[in-house]
Amino acid sequence: MAKPQPPLKSPNGLLHGALDALILKTLSRGPKHGYAIARFIEETAGDALLIEDGSLYPALYRLERKAWVEAEWGTSELGRRAKLYRLTAAGREQLASEMATWKKFSSGVAKVFAT
């Protein structure tokens, strides 16, 4: 699994890992399709995290390959067939561990900045 990831564009240099974590967090509130995930991140983070819409999908496929999310066909608000992503148990664990790591990291950074 330690293969180099395909090059992805993320305008503000958002790390793959961070995007993955954001997706997992988003899905922790229930299954969503791609556009809904993008909207949720936009609305919560405001303009702080600008990502290209398309870059979301490789991240979703990557997460599915790792079995942290799974996909199923559902129906969108438009009444069309939509691919819905759902967090798996493994994904939930991964999210918890990433959030813990992030907390430690950010509080460390905050402490250094506070000096």
Footprint of another protein on this chain (CB under 8 A)?
6-9, 33-35, 38-39, 52-55, 57-58, 61-62, 64-65, 67, 70-71, 76-78, 80-83, 88
- Nearer to another protein by Cβ, of 33 and 41: the residue is 33
- Least separation in angstroms between residue 30's CB and another protein is 17
- Nearer to another protein by Cβ, of 92 and 99: the residue is 92
Query: Scanning the structure block, which residue is given the tokens 């240099």?
Result: 13
- Least separation in angstroms between residue 53's CB and another protein is 5
- Least separation in angstroms between residue 8's CB and another protein is 7
- Nearer to another protein by Cβ, of 65 and 104: the residue is 65
Segment 15-22 long-range contacts (CB within 8 Å, at least 24 positions apart): 16/59, 16/62, 17/98, 19/51, 19/55, 19/56, 19/59, 20/59, 20/62, 20/63, 20/68, 20/98, 21/95, 21/98, 21/99, 21/102, 22/49
